[in-house]
């Protein structure tokens, strides 16, 4: 990909489409939202432009700094945005890039072969949504500078100083507009995840992230010579790989550049992530379809030829082969077409054929040359096939039973009387004693209670057949009504809110994590669509002069004690479990929609690979990565229960 391009990248390659006020009126249309997520998008848009220079072969280092005042500086050593006059606009090309919407070297086919900033709205949108933005360009021994405020030019492009003749590049400094964004504080970890991903996807590109805000500035460097091969190793670090090699295939066909890295591990979950021009495609698309077709066909052909599958046995399904597979599918394509406004699913038909043919051909060679690895993968897939068959039988059995029993709900479920799911919510409660108080406390019309006995199965370490055999999980599946995995159908959901209500101690947190692991792995759409919540029971009860207050954190308790005064009349009770509250207290503090606090469980689709890794680290078999995770995050612990 790094061959320099034949065409010019000069002032006239920047094409103009329309004006900027629209962005300030409807920022959500351009960056998704004005929340924290949109705020971080500003950084990605500017970094994307530098990555495009790297993809074109002209830049190898990008430095991103969060400055003390929460502004951002992005510096690259590419060619620098052109400073010549753009003939159509009559102003310098750099000014066009920052002040004209839909301007960029990405439309006419001349400037860039492939690029991530697809809508060409990148730089100008960041400019429109910033209090101020300054751009510096290093070119031919001069440093050019221009400043904008809320998208308006403050002074024409000018030379402010000289630099070494061979120094080239662009520096952009911007301060997000606090009248548009709900939050203007950047999160180091969010940027770290995304920049790490960008560095994995662009091999040999060095990205440095600095945070100047703490007393001791923090710096992280990302530089991966192995590119996506190292990405797979990183994602598999909490699992045990099935074989040492990370399989890597690359090639170009029909103008589509394809890179794939893959490795199986001993888990039962598939972690396959796809990217187009370095943009994540959470909903997949034609490139992912091509990849799946290729591995399913290639492994089946190999297993038949090597007599690992008998003639009488059915083919392995894609799910069987992808059990425990971690893979990255990354393609670069000149004119990507995305389905849906959110750029989340690729639609180009040529991508399917290109990925399919490159992976099929190179994987076939690899399996022939490495028969022992091929055999290991096929044997794991055959075991997965048998487990899937056993799970299907178990599922059919439960289906047949429920058909006979007229969809019998679990015996311990206290259901609500309202039959409209929109009005209903289900509380999943640990233990029968808390379940008892919850059943007494609830509003029978709209609140259902499902008590679970003890800790549910850790699904991170179990196959489907085990999961269907677990009574507590079966009770949840039947109560929710949606089915799981391939049978999942959100339209059958029986409750609008699924509320996990556990004790405010370590065991309670563990049970909540086990439940979230189950929902994330088998019903992720419930989280994506915002149906899953965590109840927040109080930690303390303060009684004084016949008055009662409840506090949900140590801070809240301390503030309250300052207010009411610390003296011997204070009776403070620390709740260890839900069972210590009577029904009335439980209703008032945790279940009454008028006064309770619920935490909605959210899932950011842009950092799915990191989320997947966190679940594996916390719930998988390997101890070492878990210890590292605890050491790194110990400083954030709020309530330590010893």
CATH number of residue 17's parent domain:
3.30.565.10
Task: Kindly tell me if the per-residue pLDDT of 562 is higher than 80.
Answer: yes
Say if residue 60 is in the same domain as residue 159. Answer: yes
Say if residue 292 is in the same domain as residue 432. Answer: no
Instruction: Read off the pTM.
Output: 0.78
User: Does residue 133 contact residue 358 with C-beta atoms inside 8 Å?
Assistant: no
Residue 530, domain CATH: 3.40.50.670
Question: In degrees rounded to 5, what are phi and psi of residue 561?
Answer: -65, -35
Choose, from 430, 606, 610, 612, the residue flagged as catalytic.
430
Residue 599 falls inside a structural domain: yes
Say if residue 144 is in the same domain as residue 188. Answer: yes
Say if residue 30 is in the same domain as residue 124. Answer: yes
Residue 623 falls inside a structural domain: no
Task: Kindly tell me if the per-residue pLDDT of 112 is higher than 70.
Answer: no
Choose, from 250, 319, 465, 505, the residue flagged as catalytic.
505
Task: Kindly tell me if the per-residue pLDDT of 342 is higher than 80.
Answer: no
pLDDT digits (tens, 9 = 90+) for 6-63: 456 676 665 543 467 778 888 887 787 888 888 998 999 899 889 888 888 899 999 9
Question: What whole-number percentage of the chain has pLDDT above 90?
Answer: 53
Angle at which helix 36-55 crosses helix 188-201, to 10 degrees, equals: 30
Length of the chain: 642
Which residue range(s) make up the domain with 381?
228-387
Residue 523 falls inside a structural domain: yes
164 is catalytic: no
505 is catalytic: yes
Domain limit, last residue, from 223, 246, 277: 223
Region 116-134 average pLDDT: 78
Check residue 336 and give its pLDDT: 87
Region 143-162 average pLDDT: 93
**102 — pLDDT class (breaks 50, 70, 90):** low
Domain limit, last residue, from 574, 595, 629: 574
Say if residue 360 is in the same domain as residue 443. Answer: no
Check residue 119 and give its pLDDT: 40
Please report where in the chains the tokens 């009005």 appear, as a residue.
423
CA proximity to 231, closest of 260, 266, 209, 188? 260
Cα angle, residue 378 at apex, residues 377 and 381 outer, rounded to 5°: 90
Residue 613 falls inside a structural domain: no
Task: Kindly tell me if the per-residue pLDDT of 111 is higher than 60.
Answer: no
Residue 130 falls inside a structural domain: yes
162 is catalytic: no
Please report where in the chains the tokens 């899937």 appear, as a residue.
388
| Interstrand relation of 497-501 and 425-430 (parallel, antiparallel or unpaired) | parallel
Residue 323, domain CATH: 3.30.230.10
507 is catalytic: yes
Partners of 532 in beta bridges = 498
How much is the mean pLDDT over the chain? 87
Question: In degrees rounded to 5, what are phi and psi of residue 123?
Answer: -65, -40
**283 — pLDDT class (breaks 50, 70, 90):** confident
Residue 164 falls inside a structural domain: yes
Say if residue 34 is in the same domain as residue 176. Answer: yes
* CB-CB neighbours of 47 under 10 Å: 26
Task: Kindly tell me if the per-residue pLDDT of 640 is higher than 80.
Answer: no
Q: Which of 329-333, 372-376, 391-395 has the lowest mean pLDDT?
A: 391-395
Check residue 369 and give its pLDDT: 96
Choose, from 53, 503, 606, 612, the residue flagged as catalytic.
503
Q: Which of 385-399, 466-480, 518-532 has the lowest mean pLDDT?
A: 385-399
Rounded CA Rg of the chain: 28
Say if residue 179 is in the same domain as residue 190. Answer: yes
Check residue 11 and give its pLDDT: 67
Region 502-516 average pLDDT: 87
Query: Which has more pLDDT, 473 or 299?
Result: 299
Q: How many CA atoms lie within 13 A of 449 on its CB side?
A: 24
Give one word for 141, left, alpha or beta, with left for phi > 0 and alpha for psi -120 to 50: left
Domain count, the chain: 4
Non-local (6+) Cβ contacts of 400 within 8 A are: none
Check residue 2 and give its pLDDT: 43
Choose, from 134, 507, 525, 580, the residue flagged as catalytic.
507
Q: Which of 147-156, 293-302, 428-437, 491-500 has the lowest mean pLDDT?
A: 428-437
Report the C-alpha gap between 58 and 50 in whole angstroms. Answer: 9
Check residue 639 and give its pLDDT: 60
Say if residue 93 is in the same domain as residue 210. Answer: yes
Task: Kindly tell me if the per-residue pLDDT of 318 is higher than 80.
Answer: yes
Residue 637 falls inside a structural domain: no
Residue 96 falls inside a structural domain: yes
Say if residue 155 is in the same domain as residue 53. Answer: yes
Check residue 388 and give its pLDDT: 87
Say if residue 149 is in the same domain as residue 174. Answer: yes
Say if residue 213 is in the same domain as residue 246. Answer: no
Domain limit, last residue, from 195, 223, 251: 223
Say if residue 455 is in the same domain as residue 505. Answer: yes
């Amino acid at each position: 990909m790094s061959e320099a391009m034949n065409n010019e990248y000069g002032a006239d390659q920047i094409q103009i489409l329309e004006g900027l006020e629209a962005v300030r009126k409807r920022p959500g249309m351009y960056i998704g939202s004005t929340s924290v997520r949109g705020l971080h998008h500003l950084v990605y848009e500017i970094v994307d432009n530098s990555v495009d220079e790297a993809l074109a072969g002209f830049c190898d280092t990008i430095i991103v700094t969060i400055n003390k005042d929460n502004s951002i500086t992005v510096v690259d050593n590419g060619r620098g945005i052109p400073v010549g006059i753009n003939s159509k606009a009559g102003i310098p090309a750099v000014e066009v890039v920052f002040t004209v919407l839909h301007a960029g070297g990405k439309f006419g086919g001349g400037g860039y072969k492939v690029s991530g900033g697809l809508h060409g709205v990148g730089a100008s949108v960041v400019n429109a949504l910033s209090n101020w933005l300054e751009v510096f360009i290093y070119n031919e021994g001069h440093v050019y500078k221009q400043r904008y405020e809320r998208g308006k030019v403050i002074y024409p492009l000018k030379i402010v100083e000289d630099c070494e003749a061979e120094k080239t590049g662009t520096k952009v400094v911007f301060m997000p507009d606090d009248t548009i964004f709900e939050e203007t504080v950047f999160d180091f970890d969010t940027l770290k995840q995304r920049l790490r991903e960008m560095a994995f996807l662009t091999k040999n590109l060095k990205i440095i992230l600095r945070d100047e805000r703490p007393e001791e500035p923090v710096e992280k460097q990302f530089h991966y010579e192995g590119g996506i091969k190292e990405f797979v190793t990183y994602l598999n670090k909490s699992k045990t790989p099935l074989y040492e090699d990370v399989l890597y295939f690359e090639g170009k066909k029909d103008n589509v550049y394809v890179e794939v890295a893959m490795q199986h591990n001993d888990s039962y979950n598939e972690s396959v992530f796809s990217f187009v021009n370095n943009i994540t495609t959470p909903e997949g698309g034609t490139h992912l379809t091509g990849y799946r077709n290729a591995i399913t066909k290639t492994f089946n052909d190999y297993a038949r030829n090597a007599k690992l599958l008998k003639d009488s046995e059915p083919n392995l399904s894609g799910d069987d082969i992808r059990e425990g597979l971690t893979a990255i599918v990354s393609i670069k394509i000149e004119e990507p077409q995305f389905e849906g406004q959110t750029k989340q699913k690729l639609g180009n038909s040529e991508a399917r054929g290109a990925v399919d043919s490159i992976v099929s051909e190179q994987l076939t060679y690899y399996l022939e040359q490495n028969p022992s690895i091929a055999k290991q993968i096929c044997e794991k897939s055959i075991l997965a096939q048998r487990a899937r068959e056993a799970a299907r039988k178990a599922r059919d059995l439960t289906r047949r039973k429920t058909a006979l029993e007229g969809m019998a709900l679990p015996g311990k479920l206290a259901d609500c009387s309202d039959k409209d799911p929109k009005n209903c919510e289900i509380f999943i409660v640990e233990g029968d004693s808390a379940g008892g108080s919850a059943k007494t406390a609830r509003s029978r019309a709209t609140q259902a209670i499902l008590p679970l006995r003890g800790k549910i199965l850790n699904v991170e370490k179990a196959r489907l057949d085990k999961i269907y055999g677990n009574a507590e999980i079966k009770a949840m599946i039947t109560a929710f009504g949606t089915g799981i995995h391939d049978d999942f159908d959100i339209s059958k959901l029986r409750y609008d809110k699924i509320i996990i209500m556990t004790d405010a101690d370590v065991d309670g947190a563990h049970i909540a994590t086990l439940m979230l692991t189950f929902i994330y792995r088998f019903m992720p759409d419930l989280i994506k669509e915002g149906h899953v919540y965590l109840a927040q029971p109080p930690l303390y009860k303060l009684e004084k002069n016949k008055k009662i207050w409840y506090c949900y954190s140590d801070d809240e308790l301390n503030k309250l004690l300052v207010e009411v005064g610390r003296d011997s009349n204070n009776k403070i009770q620390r709740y260890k479990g839900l069972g210590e509250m009577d029904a009335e207290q439980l209703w008032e503090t945790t279940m009454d929609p008028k006064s309770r606090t619920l935490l909605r469980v959210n899932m950011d689709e842009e950092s799915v690979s990191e989320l997947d890794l966190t679940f594996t680290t916390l719930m998988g078999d390997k101890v070492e990565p878990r210890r590292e995770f605890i050491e790194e995050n110990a400083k954030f612990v709020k309530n330590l229960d010893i």
